[in-house]
Amino acid sequence: MNKLAKALNRLLGDNELTAPLAAVLACASTKGMVSYTELKKIVNDNLEEVLLLSNNWRLLIPTRIVKSSAWEDRPLVCEPGESYELPNAVRYLVENASKTGC
């Protein structure tokens, strides 16, 4: 288990989605966002579950905006053509957790 997955395991508990979520967050942290197609290549089988989990914890949020840039105005759509961003605070935490495991 890598350091980021270890840190997520502490936050989420013993969850089978921890390792795929860690891979997604590591990818997204390099450029601040990730596309559905990129996520499909990383996760494949549990993509919708990983997106739901990351959205519930506000780790990844959709870039599509309905009314305003508020989280509640960003519908989570799990289909090709969509993209998701990593909030700056989360990006910093992911980078730190990747180095320290905390």
Which of 11-15, 43-47, 54-58, 87-91 is predicted least confidently?
A: 11-15
Fold assignment, 3-100: Arc Repressor Mutant, subunit A (1.10.10)
Per residue in 50-86, pLDDT (tens digit) is: 999 999 899 999 988 767 666 676 888 899 999 999 9
CA angle 58, 24, 60 (to 5 degrees): 20
In one-letter notation, the amino acid at residue 40 is K
